[in-house]
């Protein structure tokens, strides 16, 4: 069984199978009951900002010099637009006293 320390995992670059750079491993979330990794916290670069929370089942493999996740972690721009809830304008409400 291969092993990696948190010290070595932290700051590893994270990319998709198709090579898109997502950022670096910043932290991990551990389930204290099972002692298993629940999420990998990945920070984007300082310029682009943002972060990803990646579940272990979204990780394809962890190599010596990088973490590779499935392309579905990011999705396409069109998929993101479809998932966004429709914008609904608020309706005016008249308040009346009795």
Question: Which domains are delineated in the chain?
Answer: 6-71 (2.30.30.240)
C-beta separation of 57 from 39 below 8 A: no
> Model confidence over 56-75: pLDDT tens digits?
999 999 999 999 999 999 87
In the prediction, which pLDDT does 69 show? 97
CA 83, 84, 86, 90 dihedral sign is positive
Give the mean pLDDT of the chain.
82
In the prediction, which pLDDT does 78 show? 42
Cβ-in-10-Å burial (0-12, 13-18, 19+) of 41 comes to: middle
E strand or H helix at 84: none
pLDDT band of residue 81 (cuts 50, 70, 90) is: very low
| DSSP state string for 7-19 | HHHTT-EEEETT-
Residue 36 has pLDDT above 50, yes or no: yes
In the prediction, which pLDDT does 79 show? 44
Pick the residue with more confidence: 10 or 76? 10
Mean pLDDT score, 76-80: 48
């Amino acid at each position: 069984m291969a092993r990696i320390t948190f010290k070595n995992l932290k700051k590893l670059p994270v990319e998709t199978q198709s090579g898109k750079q997502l950022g670096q491993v910043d932290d991990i979330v551990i389930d204290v009951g099972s002692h298993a990794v629940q999420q990998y916290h990945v920070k984007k670069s300082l310029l682009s900002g943002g972060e990803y929370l990646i579940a272990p089942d979204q990780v394809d493999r962890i190599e010596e010099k990088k973490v590779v996740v499935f392309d579905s972690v990011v999705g396409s721009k069109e998929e993101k637009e479809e998932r966004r809830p429709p914008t609904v304008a608020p309706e005016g409400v008249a308040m009346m006293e009795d």
